[in-house]
Structure 1
Amino acid sequence: MKKSLFALCIIMLLGACKKESNKNNGLAVDLPPINDVFESYYQQSLKLNPINATFTGDNKYNDKLPNNITKDYRETALNVFQTYKDSLALYEDEFLNEEEKLSKAVLLWELNQNIENLKFKTYLMPVNQFSSMHLMIGQLGSGSSAQPFKTPADYNNWLSRLEKFSTWVDSAVVNMKQGIKEGYIIPKTLIVKTIPQFTDLTKTPIDENLFYSPVKIIPDHFSEEEKKRLTESYTHTISEKVIPSMKKMDDFLKNEYLNAGRKTSGINDIPEGKELYNALIRLYTTTNLTADEIHKLGLSEVARIRSEMEKVKKEVGYKGDLISFFDYVRNKKELMPFTEPRQVIDNFNAIHEKMKPNLEKLFDLTPKTAFEVRRTEAFREVSASAEYNQGSLDGTRPGIFYVPIPDVTTYNIYSDEDLFLHEAIPGHHYQISLQQENTKLPDFRKTLWYSAYGEGWALYTEALGKELGLYEDPYQYFGMLSAEMHRAIRLVVDTGLHAKGWTREQAIQYSLDNEAESEASITAEIERYMAIPGQALSYKIGQLKILELRAKAEKALGEQFSIKEYHNKVLESGCIPLQLLENKIDTWIASKK
């Protein structure tokens, strides 16, 4: 087998004192321990994605923001991925222990996906209303997220990163103009939702601009001279660099991009759209399922969950049909009891307290990382979903469950118990924190994220509510069914939009016909699927696999089956592709028998 010269250089540069003998093509080869390769890759990945480093609590790249939509960046990234893929090929499984073999398989899967995704011209569509750089930078620049603002160096780092963001925005405009020429452009309905986000970032006077927020929280212990210097530097950068770039993008979106926006909704309508969607299915589900298979699975799950919903409707004595029951639940005043946003947060904390006595019945592994519930920041609250942001690797920053409360008087609590299980405990907070805290994992695996596993686990935990003392109220149980229905619908509408030619309006109507969410909420969700094709498939595909593996273990082990031990096995390796998880559970079952 021909080995990359770069791969061999990586091995030489690692220069580990301890070496492993390996047999390659019949020759004895001295190699550094494979964990050195894992660590080297991890450090390279942080350089490529310094915002990821910031979120892990690694601050050495807090001033960096590579222009990841340029040709040079993509070529550099491809070179890194191919080099490490070639490096791993030098290590044969027979010389590795079980954990090393699993890490090698995970990294190979990761590298192959990264290489495949770089083939597509997604860099010509760098901006949307749900997931793009301006939203991430806005969150970091708010002063209440992962970017620290505790020392003068922290403030200098952010100023440097903010200046680089202005350069990124300028590149985005250039790319989007090229995208118009080549047919790589997002739907017009998404452009309409993106424009106000950039308009808001041009806000003046300066002290009302989002990016001025760090100045308002300068620590008291800074000297007066330092405070003055930072205030002047931030004012200059925001007024002379950031706002002009935001205005340039804002004008471009309004005057050029909007007119060119696609009237169609699915990614299959751009060049190579079908191939891109197939690649995104593999990325987000970690399976080889086809769009047709997923669509049919979704239809089947929607029918099953509807029958469960009918039972709840009968239990509460509602006489109308299911669709009218959705409206009844959406508008039931007793389910909208709050007058202050703080009450929403307090309710989630009360749910946590209620379930605490039962958590130890299902889980041996629990995280050390602290946890908080917070309201979503105002600048993104209107279009945001509830979400979890992981704590730092060193445990100094807690895991945070963000809850959008744009209008507390219409906030409906019927799904709050289910939502807490998914986004917080024992969903994302348990899974992500345990992964980050696991000292047996190489560093690259502590921060690795696969939606099929991570979101699949979170959706699986929603079904644990009754075992945790929740869902005593039929409306809360209906909330769980509604959330599961929401994810089942995603299988139908995501594939409908991106593989079957569905319109935005068709997808919205299908959702309205099958779930209790408001039309405004459903519209935002459908537009989310339009912005990030394939991601919405991961939840249900992952959940069904974890349920399938639990059922297999229960049947095979009988009285030997332990739910705590099963959860340990699922959680202990962190995020891994679903096929590797299945292999792991099969090995565990065989060892128990």
Structure 2
Amino acid sequence: MVINPGGSPDDSTARETDRLAASYWDFLLAREPSLRTRRGLPVESLPGVSAEEADERAGFAAGVLGRLDALRPAEPSGPAADTAGFLRALAEQEAEAGRFHWLTPTATPYQLFRLQQYGDTVFRPFRFEHRADADRYVTLVRDLARCVATIGDKVAGQAARGFHVHAPALTGVRTTLTRLRESAARYVRADAGRLTRLGAASREHLRDAVERLVATELEPAFDRLVALVGDPDYLRRAPEAVGWARYPEGEAAYRAFVRTYTSGDTPPERLHELGREHCRELGERMREMRGTLGFTGTEEEFHERLATEPRLYAATPEEVEARYRGHLDRLTPLLPRWFAVLPRAPYGVARLDPALEGSMTFGYYEPPTAAQPVGRYRYNASDLAHRSLLGAAALIYHELSPGHHFHLARQAENTALPDLRRELTAFSGFEEGWAEYAAGLGWEMGLYDDPWDAYGRLAHERFTAQRLVVDTGLNLGTMTLEEARTFMRAHAAAESEGQITTELLRYATDLPGQALTYRAGHAEFTTLRAACERGAGAAFDVRAFHETVLAGGTLPFPALRRRVERELDGFRGRPLYSNE
């Protein structure tokens, strides 16, 4: 299978598409601290979550859509077509976010996560060279307080419109806010060792200004927020039944969330059915693998054994890291057989901030930045006695290599892409779908030849498949929390009751629709590859397929299909899918 460059785009259409991408990039770069830190640029301000800011972003997106519409019927071709597809989907997402601003959660653990990230990406790495740096730092502390204040404003505005955080999630919300209050008050206080290049007067000015802001703006903003979600009237009105369909206009908002997160147009009802189908298929494969392990009892009995199997648990964070590194060491020599280009940035593992571990089920991937050039999986090391490592191989292949790191580091390193597409990860279906597909490559690479690792991978796949069922069921109102708990318990091999509770609240109260991205995206990639294999036959080259996907960076799936049709020999002039 040979990669083809595609046709030459109309120059004027391509230039206008590039101008639009550059304009969108400039707009976001001025507002997104994460984009600035990735580029090594100073962070000048921190955004809030006000309705005015949401309207500004939605209005800009509407302008982009209007300019894209004006290009028709002269649609761009070649790489410019990828950029146009990216821009249209990005602008449509932003427009829908503005439409459902008051129905989007804000004061929930995962939504509040960026406040903790600011400590790691903005405040702790901040370098003090001159008095102007001290002044900018003080402005950022004030902005952080303003950001927290706008979260409080939005919570109050949502309550006035009948939207309250679901009652089962409120304990976790208050715990997270209390921890974030303490954490933020610590991380904005720069230690003396970082201030040595400043003069004595500048150091004193900085310390006094920060202390005053913490006492008069930052902590009061957190206190107000905690008081809002703990107010007796708020608690009385908070719905006991979870799920977005239970809010006025909530079902429409949830369907928009699903479109945004999955980067596709499969309705949630079909995703629900797909999840049940996959759970049944994977359950049968897991039964066969239990036989390989010599176990003849029921799945429930086997899972009771898993809870006491010594090889599945670590006593220390260092043991957790060693387990992950061992799996990566097995993978490394195999990579050139599946990938034509490897990312230049190195990768590794590091523990999650312990302050966040109680409210996050697992961990997260932290991409390389100018200040921190190593991509890292930040793992959760809390409650190790009950945190099974059954799926450690599948998890680390998802999070680092050849999963998130291969996608995101390659994208950032690809100077052929416009800045917007190099730095933005706007389509979760692609991001999480690639990571799940990449972890699945372990089957053909022989990395799951150990039956325990194989069972862990199957359990991980079924875990993501059950999310299709539970997320849609809870948010469409067809499953209660207890029904979802029963289903999840039956389809989760190694998760504790505490993890199940955290996960369910994540789906139904915090990030509705986001959990669909893993299995839905995996299905998109596997279907895409299968179509390529059918079309190319014996000429199919897996390295060429992977390079076509990764060299284009993050794309919504319709644009990705068009890219593969254009770039891979054997598909020019006919659709990738016969029913399209």
Q: Please confirm whether the aligned pair reaches a TM-score higher than 0.5, indicating the same fold.
A: yes
The DSSP-based 3-state class of the residue aligned with 1:118 is helix
Q: Which of residues 486, 492, 507 is equivalent to 1:529?
A: 507
Mark the CA change 1:437 to 1:272 in structure 2 (over 3 Å): closer, same or farther.
Answer: same
Q: Which amino acid aligns with 1:112?
A: E
Q: Which of residues 300, 311, 320 is equivalent to 1:344?
A: 320
* Corresponding residue number in structure 2 for 1:44: 27
Mark the CA change 1:344 to 1:228 in structure 2 (over 3 Å): closer, same or farther.
Answer: farther
* Corresponding residue number in structure 1 for 2:97: 117
Q: 1:545: Cα distance to partner?
A: 1.4
Q: Given the two structures, how large is their TM-score scaled by the length of structure 2?
A: 0.89
- Asked if the contact 2:390–2:456 (Cα under 8 Å) also holds between the matched residues in 1, the reply is yes
* Corresponding residue number in structure 2 for 1:64: 45
* Corresponding residue number in structure 2 for 1:573: 552
Counterparts of 1:280-359 in structure 2 under 5 Å?
280-336=257-313, 338-359=314-335
Q: 1:557: Cα distance to partner?
A: 1.4
Distance 1:513 1:446 in 2: 41
Distance 1:395 1:199 in 2: 29
Mark the CA change 1:299 to 1:32 in structure 2 (over 3 Å): closer, same or farther.
Answer: closer
In structure 2, list runs of 5 or more residues that go unmatched: 1-9, 573-580
Q: 1:396: Cα distance to partner?
A: 5.3
Mark the CA change 1:38 to 1:445 in structure 2 (over 3 Å): closer, same or farther.
Answer: same
Q: Which of residues 495, 498, 512 is equivalent to 1:520?
A: 498
Q: Which amino acid aligns with 1:44?
A: F
Mark the CA change 1:221 to 1:311 in structure 2 (over 3 Å): closer, same or farther.
Answer: farther
Give me the identity figure in percent.
23
Mark the CA change 1:118 to 1:506 in structure 2 (over 3 Å): closer, same or farther.
Answer: same
Higher mean displacement: 410-419 or 221-230: 221-230
Counterparts of 1:489-508 in structure 2 under 5 Å?
489-508=466-485
* Corresponding residue number in structure 1 for 2:109: 129
Q: 1:300: Cα distance to partner?
A: 0.3
Distance 2:37 2:465 in 1: 31
Q: 1:238: Cα distance to partner?
A: 1.5
Distance 1:311 1:96 in 2: 50
Q: Which amino acid aligns with 2:186?
A: L
The DSSP-based 3-state class of the residue aligned with 1:191 is helix
* Corresponding residue number in structure 2 for 1:89: 69
Distance 1:381 1:511 in 2: 21
The DSSP-based 3-state class of the residue aligned with 1:297 is helix
Mark the CA change 1:506 to 1:217 in structure 2 (over 3 Å): closer, same or farther.
Answer: farther
- Asked if the contact 1:457–1:542 (Cα under 8 Å) also holds between the matched residues in 2, the reply is yes
Q: 1:591: Cα distance to partner?
A: 4.2
- Asked if the contact 2:246–2:477 (Cα under 8 Å) also holds between the matched residues in 1, the reply is no
Mark the CA change 1:123 to 1:232 in structure 2 (over 3 Å): closer, same or farther.
Answer: farther
The DSSP-based 3-state class of the residue aligned with 1:465 is helix
Q: Given the two structures, how large is their TM-score scaled by the length of structure 1?
A: 0.88
Distance 2:308 2:445 in 1: 28
* Corresponding residue number in structure 2 for 1:415: 391
Q: 1:96: Cα distance to partner?
A: 3.8
Q: Which amino acid aligns with 1:130?
A: Y
* Corresponding residue number in structure 1 for 2:578: none
The DSSP-based 3-state class of the residue aligned with 2:424 is coil
- Asked if the contact 2:349–2:378 (Cα under 8 Å) also holds between the matched residues in 1, the reply is yes
> Is 1:586 the equivalent of 2:569?
no
The DSSP-based 3-state class of the residue aligned with 1:418 is helix
Distance 2:412 2:401 in 1: 16
Mark the CA change 1:545 to 1:200 in structure 2 (over 3 Å): closer, same or farther.
Answer: closer
- Asked if the contact 1:69–1:123 (Cα under 8 Å) also holds between the matched residues in 2, the reply is no
Q: 1:138: Cα distance to partner?
A: 2.1
Distance 1:478 1:55 in 2: 39
* Corresponding residue number in structure 1 for 2:177: 198
Q: Which amino acid aligns with 1:389?
A: E
Q: 1:355: Cα distance to partner?
A: 1.3
Distance 1:113 1:219 in 2: 42
Q: 1:351: Cα distance to partner?
A: 2.0
In structure 1, list runs of 5 or more residues that go unmatched: 1-18, 23-30
> Is 1:54 the equivalent of 2:54?
no
- Asked if the contact 2:29–2:36 (Cα under 8 Å) also holds between the matched residues in 1, the reply is no
> Is 1:34 the equivalent of 2:17?
yes
Higher mean displacement: 401-410 or 150-159: 150-159
Q: 1:288: Cα distance to partner?
A: 1.8
Q: 1:478: Cα distance to partner?
A: 1.0
The DSSP-based 3-state class of the residue aligned with 2:376 is strand
Q: Which amino acid aligns with 1:297?
A: L
- Asked if the contact 1:386–1:404 (Cα under 8 Å) also holds between the matched residues in 2, the reply is yes
Distance 2:326 2:277 in 1: 35
Q: 1:347: Cα distance to partner?
A: 2.3
Distance 1:446 1:473 in 2: 37
Alignment deviations for residues 202-223 of structure 1 (CA, whole Å, 9 cap, x no partner): 44xxx99433464366265555
The DSSP-based 3-state class of the residue aligned with 1:331 is coil
Q: 1:64: Cα distance to partner?
A: 1.0
Distance 1:202 1:560 in 2: 58
Alignment deviations for residues 524-575 of structure 1 (CA, whole Å, 9 cap, x no partner): 1111111111111111111111111211222221221111111111111111
The DSSP-based 3-state class of the residue aligned with 1:74 is helix
Distance 2:134 2:357 in 1: 25
Q: 1:422: Cα distance to partner?
A: 0.3
* Corresponding residue number in structure 1 for 2:428: 451
The DSSP-based 3-state class of the residue aligned with 2:71 is coil
> Is 1:186 the equivalent of 2:162?
no
Alignment deviations for residues 232-259 of structure 1 (CA, whole Å, 9 cap, x no partner): 3322222222112111222222224333
After superposition, the CA RMSD in angstroms is 2.5
Q: 1:344: Cα distance to partner?
A: 1.4
* Corresponding residue number in structure 2 for 1:427: 403
Distance 1:146 1:88 in 2: 38
Distance 1:122 1:353 in 2: 47
Alignment deviations for residues 17-49 of structure 1 (CA, whole Å, 9 cap, x no partner): xx9656xxxxxxxx96432221111111223x3
Q: 1:78: Cα distance to partner?
A: 2.3
Q: Which has the higher contact order (CA 8 A, sep 6+)?
A: 2
